[in-house]
């Protein structure tokens, strides 16, 4: 097989975001577009000659075609071995686990996470380094710089590898090992959680749960673990077959997009199942539901922090915890009560990696339905679901009972996120810039029922390596134990997404069962007065509320 050197010209839009490079499928299908980015990645990879890499994706449209290109380019660039999930499938947590278990140089993940799929949907590619976590900014910036100057890429002239069955193949001078995408991950879960106790939940048939895989990558993982290893009924996993367009749905595990799951969990007993959960496109996010009860991701992180010692893989308890800036401060209260450090980081899982590697934390999470621990260097949706099942089995309480007891012990942080999607990028930036310019004038001013105590732009200094990340979001703290965070999201592919994060602490048990949107209505009104979103964007309401 001959190696071709193909002349090319740079693209100007290949700067990776917080989760790699995400664009519309049709952009990736532009001649040379994928190849340019992959070559830039290989050019920046140290010691790539003879290296082993992991490769896989969430099965969305263009996944298989992209894998074929990447395999041919890897062989042409001196990669020694590729570990590839059968069918081209690997969840993001599974990739992180394989990198760590097999001590590979890193891994390439093909996914746009929770973004829609299909020919008109989104596609993405990111690189995880040898600790199993997303590449740091220094690496992604080097890749971007290389994409701006690239003039050629290397690729095998021909050669195909059958993707669908485990086995070993040769491509040029490179070995391609097709593996069961689920086996290593499932084995890891058995070391962390009490599988015998989990099986006891399903022994009598009295406990009922529904897991919505959203026609995304976690379907095979959930079926193997929940139905085959834990004995849950065969219909426990719904939408369990990965599809290139996610069945026409939006693989984002929230109250808006997981409609069927929400309908099943919010109905009168006894028809209502005891437990509900969902994961996203690539398996790194999770939503937890009880019968007629939604657990916010922020509360989920706080509850896991308070109960971590109950899980077999974490008997020593919480060593430290980290949350992203927009995530509510509920977990801060748990950390303070337990006397451990709580770190506030920018959005993006890569910021947790140094803290995990340094042993400063063993649990981390973010409000966008992501939770993880030191078992991997990625958030892990199915792991979080299994942790919650383990708590239900261990404590012999329902999801609602566990959360309400947590609120009694620590108070409740009412929380909501408002997303304004597909905004004109210039308008979105203008809105944020206007608020940034006013930050110094806001302390002491009153908006509705709230008085601003402080206002700043969040910057993060990594306590491990001293690196500084600036311009990570605008935050306003109010004297009334409330907070507003404003930032532009980096995970969309069309227009700009403005996100407002609002929270208020309530210690009074008598008010804990209030509806979150009703409770936060005065704060939402104050935020509107401060930001003037409708006046600047013409939007009278957010597109998504979670």
State the catalytic residues: 113
- DSSP letter for each residue of 156-172: ESS-----SS-EEEEET
Q: Which of 360, 319, 363, 356 is nearest to 100 (CA)?
A: 356
214 close to 238: Cβ distance less than 8 angstroms: no
216 close to 279: Cβ distance less than 8 angstroms: yes
- Both structure tokens of 115: 């973004």
Task: Show the DSSP H helices in 12-156 as ranges.
Answer: 25-28, 33-44, 63-76, 92-102, 137-147
Rounded Cα distance between 246 and 239, Å, is: 9
Task: Provide the 8-state DSSP code for 144.
Answer: H
How many CB atoms lie under 10 A from the CB of residue 506?
16
Residue 9, C-beta contacts closer than 8 angstroms, at least 6 positions apart: 32, 151
Rounded Cα distance between 254 and 114, Å, is: 10
- DSSP letter for each residue of 412-457: EEEEEEEEEEEE-HHHHHHHHHHHHHHGGG-TT-EETTEEEEEEEE
Residue 233, C-beta contacts closer than 8 angstroms, at least 6 positions apart: 202, 205, 208, 227
Q: Which of 103, 19, 106, 97 is nearest to 54 (CA)?
A: 106
Residue 323, C-beta contacts closer than 8 angstroms, at least 6 positions apart: 298, 301, 331, 332, 342, 343, 344, 345, 364, 365, 366
- Both structure tokens of 368: 């966008």
240 close to 105: Cβ distance less than 8 angstroms: no
Determine whether 286 is exposed, middle or buried from the number of CB atoms within 10 Å of its CB (0-12, 13-18, 19+). Answer: buried
Cα atoms in the 13 Å half-sphere on the side-chain side of 186: 17
Q: How are beta strands 363-366 and 341-345 bridged, if at all?
A: unpaired
Rounded Cα distance between 55 and 175, Å, is: 13
Token look-up 């949706």 returns: 381
Residue 437, C-beta contacts closer than 8 angstroms, at least 6 positions apart: none
104 close to 98: Cβ distance less than 8 angstroms: yes
């Amino acid at each position: 097989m001959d190696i071709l050197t193909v002349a090319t010209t740079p693209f100007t839009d290949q700067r990776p975001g917080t989760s790699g490079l995400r664009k519309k499928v049709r952009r990736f299908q532009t001649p040379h577009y994928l190849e340019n980015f992959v070559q830039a990645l290989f050019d920046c990879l140290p010691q790539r000659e003879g290296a082993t890499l992991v490769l896989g994706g969430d099965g969305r449209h263009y996944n298989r075609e992209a894998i074929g290109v990447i395999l041919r380019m890897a062989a042409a660039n001196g990669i020694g071995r590729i570990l590839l999930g059968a069918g081209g499938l690997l969840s993001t947590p599974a990739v992180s686990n394989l990198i760590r278990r097999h001590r590979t140089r890193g891994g390439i993940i093909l996914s746009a996470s929770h973004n829609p799929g299909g020919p008109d949907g989104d596609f993405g590619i990111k690189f995880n380094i040898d600790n199993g976590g997303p590449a740091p900014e220094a690496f992604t910036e080097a890749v971007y710089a290389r994409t701006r100057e690239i003039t050629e890429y290397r690729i095998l002239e021909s050669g195909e590898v059958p993707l669908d069955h485990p086995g070993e193949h040769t491509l040029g001078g490179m070995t391609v090992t097709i593996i069961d995408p689920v086996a290593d991950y499932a084995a890891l879960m058995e070391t962390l959680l009490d599988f015998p106790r989990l099986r006891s939940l399903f022994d009598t048939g009295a406990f009922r749960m529904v897991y919505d895989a959203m026609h995304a990558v976690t379907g095979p993982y959930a079926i193997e673990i929940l139905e085959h290893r834990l004995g849950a009924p065969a219909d426990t996993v719904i939408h369990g077959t990965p599809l290139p367009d996610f069945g026409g749905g939006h693989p984002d595990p929230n109250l808006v997009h997981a409609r069927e799951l929400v309908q099943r969990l919010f109905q009168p007993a006894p028809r209502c199942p005891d437990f509900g959960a969902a994961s996203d496109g690539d398996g790194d996010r999770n939503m937890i539901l009880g019968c007629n009860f939604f657990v916010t991701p922020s509360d989920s992180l706080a509850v896991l922090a308070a109960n971590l010692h109950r899980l077999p893989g974490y008997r020593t308890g919480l060593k430290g915890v980290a949350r992203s800036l927009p995530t509510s401060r509920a977990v801060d209260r748990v950390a303070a009560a337990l006397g451990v450090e709580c770190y506030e980081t920018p959005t993006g899982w890569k910021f947790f990696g140094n803290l995990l590697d340094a042993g400063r934390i063993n649990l981390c999470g973010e409000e966008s339905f992501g939770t993880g621990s030191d078992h991997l260097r990625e958030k892990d949706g199915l792991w979080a679901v299994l942790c919650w099942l383990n708590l239900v089995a261990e404590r012999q309480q329902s999801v609602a009972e566990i959360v309400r007891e947590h609120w009694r012990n620590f108070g409740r942080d009412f929380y909501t996120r408002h997303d304004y999607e597909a905004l004109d990028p210039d308008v979105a930036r203008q809105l944020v810039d206007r608020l940034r310019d006013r930050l110094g004038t806001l302390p002491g001013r009153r908006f509705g029922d709230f008085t601003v105590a402080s206002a700043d732009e969040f910057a993060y200094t990594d306590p491990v390596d001293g690196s500084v990340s600036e311009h990570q979001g605008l935050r306003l703290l109010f004297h009334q134990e409330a907070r507003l965070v404003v930032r532009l999201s980096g995970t969309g592919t069309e227009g700009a997404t403005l996100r407002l994060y609002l929270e208020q602490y309530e210690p009074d048990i008598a008010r804990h069962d209030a509806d979150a949107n009703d409770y936060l209505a005065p704060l939402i009104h104050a935020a509107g007065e401060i930001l003037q979103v409708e006046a600047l964007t013409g939007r009278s309401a957010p597109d998504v509320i979670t």
